[in-house]
Amino acid sequence: MQQISFALGRQTLLLYRKSISVFSFVLEIIYELKNFFLQRKITRLILIRQILFTGFEALGLIAFVAVAVGGIIILEGSAILPGFGQSKLLYTILVTVILRELGGLLTAFIIIARSGTAIAAELGNMVVNQEVESLVSFGISPILYLVVPRVLGVVLSMIALNIYFNIAALAGGWFMAYLFAPIPIPDFLYKLFSEISVSDITSSFIKSLFFGFIIAVVSSYQGLQVNFASTEVPQRTIKAVVLSLSWVIIVDILITAIMYLV
């Protein structure tokens, strides 16, 4: 019994220390945000590259997944819903599933797979190669130089990609609907927009904002936790993926619940 309580106590203490460490990491990021704009000369390039990699280079993959998902929803919906006499719900389902849920979630999953892993591995290798230490030796905060531009880059890209995903998925939905029962674009858009509410857009925006922040913070934190061995890099990268996925889903549930309650 005593051993169990010792183990529990140790784990609680460990969790407490970890939480403090993550919390101070987040606070440091927020603190360095203002310095980021003062130090544009050295940080601008990293921000641009992060947006290029996370936002621009993922466009093809996002478009492919979005069009496919939008098409599948229409395909499944038009096969099932008429059986219940609920064909008119097709647009409601499309908007709810894409705008409120899948748009943000799938975009976040893609960003975790592409950029979250890349950030954790890159920062981990930078620690091993004394690159982070060299920044400290200049007096440059690694949070300011390495983390803040990545956080901003991922958040901005996440917001942009989410919008892009939603548009592409709705377009995919229209294309599939057109194949089965040709419907003019203005009619489709009218039915679609009559289903979209302000809260759908707000929810989608808030989610992408939080998801982007979570992915960038978790991946950067895990990357910087590497000590000296390159063998730690894949371990930390896996941890970054698992934790990012978990936190994105938890926050998604929380925001969805809050949006329904409000």
Q: Which residues bind another protein (CB under 8 A)?
A: 39, 41-42, 45, 49, 122, 125-126, 128-131, 133-141, 145
**AA identity, residue 56:** F
User: Shortest Cβ distance from residue 61 to another protein (Å)?
Assistant: 22
Least CB distance from residue 85 to another protein, whole Å? 58
Identify which of 165, 117, 243 has the alpha carbon closest to the alpha carbon of residue 173: 165
Q: Pick the closest to residue 208 from 114, 98, 45, 121 (CA basis).
A: 98
CA–chain centroid gap for 165, Å, is: 13
d(CA 98, CA 123): 33
Min CB(2)–another protein separation in Å: 31
Q: How far is the CB of 41 from another protein (least distance, A)?
A: 5
- Give 68 or 140: the residue with its C-beta nearer to another protein: 140
The phi, psi pair for 206, rounded to 5°, reads: -60, -45
Nearer to another protein, 100 or 150 (CB): 150
Residue type, 174: W
- Residue 122 or 252: the one with the smaller Cβ distance to another protein is 122
Kindly state the DSSP code that residue 82 receives in the 8-state scheme. G
